[in-house]
Chains A and B, each alone.
Chain A
């Protein structure tokens, strides 16, 4: 497929900036949103392929945003990130259809390899041939 577009949703300015820089320097198209409402608004204009969402954003939280996104754009892949590795959270993320869960601070290489795997499967997802599922705490994706 053509270049993948990633939406980064994190309320912390420098975290968001860093992620955007890192991703665009490795060839991804990117844009950021500081909260859930902004993410939902921008999603319609920008049409991202993948959303990278912080769990603790103000207002609509990570899970609620995930549900909204799944409703509106089910073919989009979503990755959740959080500062805690709480098992219940990870389990729930898996159940609700996230295809990755990254525990901050993770290494950019980890994110990039996850994104690479996702983007190879994206086309199939768009055709409804695969469903997003995830495995293990590192957010391995199986398709």
Chain B
């Protein structure tokens, strides 16, 4: 224990006095001047720090053990140990509070929020620091790296949140082609910047699929982002949506670097990445989402000749049993 002990001893004496008034059993006088009574044995004691009992403050909790020291003429004194249990009590309370949070999802969402705020303030202060450096200062490279690393952390937090989302449970009847169109619109400025032409093709009658729209959007974002990453010098992306038998099929084809033979078995594994700033969760998350709605996700690729990702989701009429 720390120096809190010193400060507490008065409280403790007061507590002993309280006992003197309320209990008679096992109470011993160990000093007449000043008069001090103690209760022998082991007990839990709560001490309110605030003057008034109305205070919101948590009481301090002590585990008190009192042993009397006997002499020939009676009690010589007492050895009193008291162990501060407040922290443990607090922890206990917090754990019960955590149990109240309905789902892991909610917990993750607030944890991610708590993580992102400091990332945000650090990032902003770094920018300010950077602005105070001259254009040719070598230390600008340091701030650039720090900011990139912070962005990675923040993306990791988002990915983690995505993984905790309840899957396969919540959903709606949605049209994959419309969602895809929204995603492509979102990417448009980036396509322009890198010099990517995106070709979108869709069959006449696309059946609806039963899935969570936000999660499906995330899958498309992950796969198109990968296609962009694979084509730093630009090129073409071909996107197609078709209804076939009882499935809706979405194909996303790029002309990028392709996937190496030896990596083929790994790309869906968590944290597998060949990118300097990659997290390696994009495809893992995508596969989990698609699978939870009883779909599949596959790819065809040849190193140096691009990659095609093929997503199959059962059309909603086929899901109804």
A residues neighboring B (CB under 8 Å): 12, 14-15, 17-19, 21-22, 25, 56, 83-87, 104-108, 136-137
Contacts and interface: CB of A to CB of B under 8 A. Distances in A.
Contact of B112 (A19, A21, A84, A137): A84
B116 A105 contact: yes
Given A25-B131, A137-B186, A105 B123 contact: yes
Contacts of A136: 186
Contacts of B154: 105
Contacts of A18: 120-121, 124-125, 128
Contacts of B123: 105, 107
B30 interface: no
A21 B119 CA distance: 16
Interface of chain A: mostly helix, strand, loop or mixed: loop
Interface residues of B, number: 24
Given A83-B116, A104-B116, 15 more contacts: A15-B121, A18-B125, A21-B124, A22-B127, A25-B131, A83-B113, A83-B117, A84-B161, A86-B214, A105-B119, A105-B120, A105-B151, A105-B154, A108-B124, A136-B186
Contacts of B116: 83, 104-105
Contacts of B151: 105
B121 A12 contact: yes
B214 A87 contact: yes
Contacts of A104: 116-117, 119-120
A108 B186 CA distance: 21
Interface string B97-141: 000000000000100110011111101110110010000000000
Interface in B175-214: 186, 213-214
A73 to B, nearest CB: 27
A22 B126 CA distance: 11
Contacts of A83: 112-113, 116-117, 120
A111 to B, nearest CB: 9
B64 interface: no
Given A14-B121, A25-B131, A105 B113 contact: no
Contacts of A107: 123, 127
